[in-house]
């Protein structure tokens, strides 16, 4: 391996990709973590899952058994510190992310962290600053946040279309984010923090500017809403450039997973997420009908996005860096969600408090 002299000492050369696979530890193997393990094992090249960790030992054993040679390391911090681990995927509950991210930065290994980056804007900012210090010494970023929609081919196409100028200036964005069903503990706050957070990132990704203020309205609730929940919600973002984005978030539709985004510009509009795959025509006693399939949940709708996200992350991590939304993007999303929660509680328009960015390198890379 060649090396580079820096003020921090001698570092392996970034451009050099090691011949062996990236040895990955996956922390948290609930629905999302287990999905990442299966994907890394069966569809992604250049990586091997060498360890998993989970608060539920039985679950960890079960998932480890699906990958030859995979160990269970019950303490996630021990997994991060393990000499046999080159990179980490964090899919643990959000309250554990800060400590685990800081440990990855401390050890200098790349990490892909499922959203939220951390639970509050202040702790996300602490992660940004810790990584800033590492980047200043090495020129590398380590933290990538799992906003998978950026890797979805339709979102990528929409972003390119906006950037081409063909729509003129984008003025308004309409978003729908619908889940068929959510677990009984899913509160209205979670509708903002867990669901609308994706539209926060999509807005920043498509429009390339920050969100300045958030308003949340509560229409009449569905009779299927989880007890105490306001479902659906209408959320309005105002961006620093004066554009507006409305989001209908509706998490108990009983229908399927529907995520649509329409950008309206000065010279035209464009929409993604219509699920226009196979269109089927059927006859029947009550008349002929036409139908298309709707994805049941986000793992199907964004399956291709997860594949691209993980493959690109593995390729970058083998060079000791990231390729996608970074810690700053995770922090900015948390700051907007904090304003969203305040707006939900007070019913008032709430301004987003975003600290100044100190290191431009924290922006992550636009996929």
What residue ranges bind ligand ISE (CB under 6 A)?
179, 194-195, 198, 251, 298
Q: Which is nearer to ligand ISE, 134 or 237 (CB)?
A: 237
E-strand ranges in 123-162 read: 143-145
Q: Which is nearer to ligand ISE, 124 or 195 (CB)?
A: 195
**In the bound complex, what is the minimum distance in angstroms from residue 43's beta carbon to ligand ISE?**
20
DSSP single-letter state for residue 108: T
Q: Which is nearer to ligand ISE, 51 or 251 (CB)?
A: 251
**What is the radius of gyration, based on Cα positions, of the chain?**
21
Q: Which is nearer to ligand ISE, 156 or 233 (CB)?
A: 233
| Contact yes or no for 12/314 (Cβ under 8 A) | no
Q: Which is nearer to ligand ISE, 134 or 298 (CB)?
A: 298
**In the bound complex, what is the minimum distance in angstroms from residue 198's beta carbon to ligand ISE?**
6
Measured CA to CA, the distance from residue 297 to residue 105 in angstroms comes to 33
**In the bound complex, what is the minimum distance in angstroms from residue 298's beta carbon to ligand ISE?**
4
User: Taking the CA of residue 123 as centre, how many other CA atoms within 13 Å lie in the half-sphere pointing to its CB?
Assistant: 15
Q: Largest Cα–Cα distance in the chain? A: 77
Q: Which two tokens stand for residue 189?
A: 């706050």
- 3-state secondary structure at position 49: strand
Q: Which residues, other chains included, contact 323 with Cβ-Cβ below 8 Å and sequence gap of 6+?
A: 144, 312, 313, 315, 316, 365, 367
Q: Which is nearer to ligand ISE, 20 or 224 (CB)?
A: 224
Question: In 3D, which of 222, 213, 170, 212 has the Cα closest to residue 191?
Answer: 222
Dihedral over Cα of 116, 117, 123, 128: its sign:
negative
**In the bound complex, what is the minimum distance in angstroms from residue 22's beta carbon to ligand ISE?**
25
Residue nearest to ligand ISE (CB): 195
Sort 190 into a burial class: Cβ within 10 Å, 0-12 / 13-18 / 19+. Answer: middle
**In the bound complex, what is the minimum distance in angstroms from residue 240's beta carbon to ligand ISE?**
25
Q: Which is nearer to ligand ISE, 25 or 182 (CB)?
A: 182
**In the bound complex, what is the minimum distance in angstroms from residue 225's beta carbon to ligand ISE?**
14
Q: Which is nearer to ligand ISE, 79 or 233 (CB)?
A: 233
**In the bound complex, what is the minimum distance in angstroms from residue 182's beta carbon to ligand ISE?**
6
**In the bound complex, what is the minimum distance in angstroms from residue 54's beta carbon to ligand ISE?**
18
| Contact yes or no for 367/147 (Cβ under 8 A) | no
Q: Which two tokens stand for residue 303?
A: 């399956």
């Amino acid at each position: 391996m060649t090396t580079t002299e820096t003020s921090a000492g001698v570092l392996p050369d970034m451009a050099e990709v090691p011949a062996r696979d990236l040895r990955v530890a996956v922390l948290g193997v609930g629905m999302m973590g287990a999905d990442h393990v299966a994907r890394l094992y069966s569809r992604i090249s250049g990586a091997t899952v060498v360890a998993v960790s989970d608060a539920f030992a039985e679950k960890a054993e079960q998932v480890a058994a699906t990958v030859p040679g995979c160990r269970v390391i019950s303490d996630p911090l021990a997994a991060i510190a393990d000499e046999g681990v080159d990179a980490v995927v964090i899919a643990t509950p959000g309250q554990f992310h800060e400590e685990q991210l800081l440990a990855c930065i401390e050890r200098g290994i790349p990490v892909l962290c499922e959203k939220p980056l951390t639970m509050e804007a202040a702790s996300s900012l602490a992660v940004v600053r810790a990584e800033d210090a590492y980047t200043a010494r090495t020129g590398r970023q380590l933290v990538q946040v799992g906003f998978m929609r950026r890797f979805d081919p339709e979102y990528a196409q929409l972003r390119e279309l906006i950037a081409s100028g063909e729509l003129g200036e984008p003025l308004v964005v309409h978003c729908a984010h619908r889940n068929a069903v959510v677990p009984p503990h899913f509160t209205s706050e979670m509708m903002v923090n867990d669901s609308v957070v994706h539209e926060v990132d999509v807005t920043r990704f498509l429009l390339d500017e920050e969100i300045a203020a958030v308003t949340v309205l509560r229409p009449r609730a569905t009779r299927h809403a989880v007890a105490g929940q306001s479902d659906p919600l209408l959320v309005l973002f105002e961006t620093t450039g004066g554009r507006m984005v409305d989001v209908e978030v509706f998490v108990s539709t009983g229908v399927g997973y529907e995520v649509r985004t329409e950008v309206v510009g000065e010279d035209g509009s464009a929409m993604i997420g219509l699920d226009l795959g196979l269109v089927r025509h059927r006859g029947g006693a009550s008349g002929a009908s036409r139908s298309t399939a709707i994805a049941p949940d986000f793992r199907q709708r964004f399956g291709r996005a997860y594949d691209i996200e993980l493959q690109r992350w593995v390729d970058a991590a083998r060079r000791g860096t990231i390729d996608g939304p970074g810690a700053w993007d995770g922090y900015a999303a948390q700051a907007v969600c904090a304003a969203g929660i305040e707006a939900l509680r007070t019913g008032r328009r709430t301004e987003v408090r975003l600290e100044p960015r100190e290191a431009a390198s924290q922006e992550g890379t636009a996929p």
